Amino acid sequence: MTANRLCDPESKLGVWDRWLARVYLPSCDGLKLDHMYEAMDLMYEHADKIEAAIFFHIADLFNLEVDLIFYDTTTASFHVDREDDPDRHANATLRKFGHSREGTWSPQVVVALAVTREGIPVRSWVLPGNTSDVATVEKVRADLRGRHLGRAMFVADSGMNSEDNRRELAGACGKYLLACRMSNVAEIRKKVLSKRGRYTVFKDNLHAKAVVVGDGERRRRYILCCNPREAERQRKHREMTVAVLEKALESHKDASATAQWAIELPASRRFKRYLKVTKTNKVRIDRGKIREAETYDGKWVLETNDDTISLEDAACGYKGLMVIEPSPSWPAESPGTRSRWRWMRFRSQNFSI
């Protein structure tokens, strides 16, 4: 199965039924399908030791620098009617109802992965489908501590950023670099995004500046990043959206919020953020929300507890998260959002070891 994964990934049934007939492996002539399923059970029982042995062998072979640990999660859903019930099957505990990355509500599992900056897996986890991102940190903390990685910085997206998680991560890895939800944190809206000062230009699509908020133990270091090209793209898209809204409002004499056409506008994910209902029950464009949206154009904010990391290393280090969550349009998609892994591509590139 390992040889198959390296060459032409198939399922266990596919390996036994289709792949073995096309390759020269005399030692597998008497292999049965049940043997493959039993092998998976055996490997699962010893997965921790196997993963550790493989990682340290690869780390030594390629002389890897384990100074950055990139972490992300995704979900794998199942087309079944019920979640796992331990009362019926003692070992059935992982498939639980949860919200998938596609927004559906179905039985699923959460798959988590930590990799080095080169994309070499450090550790993987399969967790119950109702596990939130923030709830995975305690498990990650304990497991990564057991790897004795030395000085390593934990890099993750905004789904992992909470006060409890930052405390856990500081205990597990010491240092972290996390994306922030800009619009949800008052301190970022009021003190970080409004901070005056010039950006340092590292690349055409990556400008950054450091912002320190607070003093003493309450001191927090933020990295405000900007992509001018993405800011321009977002500005044009917003102008086009507002123009469509203005035309729609002008074409209807009755702008009552109870009119059918007016009801559909606020229900639209594209338009609702720029609309409001006045005290007279009229639908109007909210110019204040438009001005507020402008402050976020092309920007994302990072938070770190490492005072020694340079501005460039912090900004470029987070970009390295794309080795685990590839996105050819980066950073056209806001780096703080959680887009789903391109799983088959990632598996073929990294799981083959």
DSSP 111-145: EEEEE-TTS-EEEEEEEETT--GGGGHHHHHHHHH
Give which of 134, 141, 27, 138 is closest to 73, Cα–Cα: 134
What is the percent of the chain with per-residue pLDDT over 90, rounded to a whole number? 25
Encoded amino acid at 177, one letter: L
Instruction: Tell me what the pLDDT averaged over the chain comes to.
Output: 80
pLDDT of res. 322:
60
pLDDT of res. 146:
67
Indicate the pLDDT class of residue 207, thresholds 50, 70 and 90: very high
Helix (H/G/I), strand (E/B), else coil: 222: strand
Distance between CA 288 and CA 303 in Å, rounded?
Answer: 28
Give pLDDT tens digits for 60-115: 776 666 667 778 888 888 888 889 988 888 888 899 998 876 778 889 998 888 88
Give which of 161, 186, 166 is closest to 337, Cα–Cα: 161
Indicate the pLDDT class of residue 195, thresholds 50, 70 and 90: confident
- Position 210 pLDDT exceeds 70: yes
Q: How many CB atoms lie within 10 A of CB 320?
A: 18
DSSP 18: I
Distance between CA 233 and CA 211 in Å, rounded?
Answer: 25
pLDDT of res. 296:
92
Give pLDDT tens digits for 306-337: 888 888 888 887 776 665 554 333 333 333 33
- Name the phi and psi angles at 80, rounded to 5: -130, 160
Q: 314 vs 151, which has greater pLDDT?
A: 314
pLDDT of res. 181:
86
- Position 19 pLDDT exceeds 80: yes
- Position 138 pLDDT exceeds 60: yes
Distance between CA 6 and CA 349 in Å, rounded?
Answer: 9
- Position 55 pLDDT exceeds 60: yes
Indicate the pLDDT class of residue 341, thresholds 50, 70 and 90: very low
84: left (phi over 0), alpha (psi -120 to 50) or beta: beta
pLDDT of res. 199:
93
Q: Are 179 and 157 in contact (CB under 8 A)?
A: yes
Query: How much of the chain is in helix, strand and coil states, percent to nearest 5?
Result: 45, 20, 35
pLDDT of res. 346:
34
pTM for the model stands at 0.66
Lowest mean pLDDT across 2-6, 17-21, 94-98, 340-344: 340-344
DSSP 192: I
Lowest mean pLDDT across 80-84, 125-129, 171-175, 183-187: 171-175
Give pLDDT tens digits for 256-295: 777 777 777 777 778 888 888 888 888 888 999 999 999 9
Mean pLDDT over 5-34 rounds to 90
- Position 13 pLDDT exceeds 90: yes
pLDDT of res. 150:
59
pLDDT of res. 347:
33
Go through the domains of the chain in sequence order and give each one's CATH number: 2-45 (no CATH), 48-227+298-351 (3.90.350), 230-294 (no CATH)
Contacts of 317 (CB under 8 A, 6+ apart): 68, 153, 155, 177, 309
Give which of 147, 146, 144 is closest to 156, Cα–Cα: 144
Q: Are 345 and 326 in contact (CB under 8 A)?
A: yes
Lowest mean pLDDT across 36-45, 68-77, 220-229, 328-337: 328-337
Distance between CA 172 and CA 164 in Å, rounded?
Answer: 12
Q: Are 287 and 294 in contact (CB under 8 A)?
A: no
The two tokens of residue 199 are 């950006």
Q: Are 314 and 335 in contact (CB under 8 A)?
A: no
pLDDT of res. 95:
92
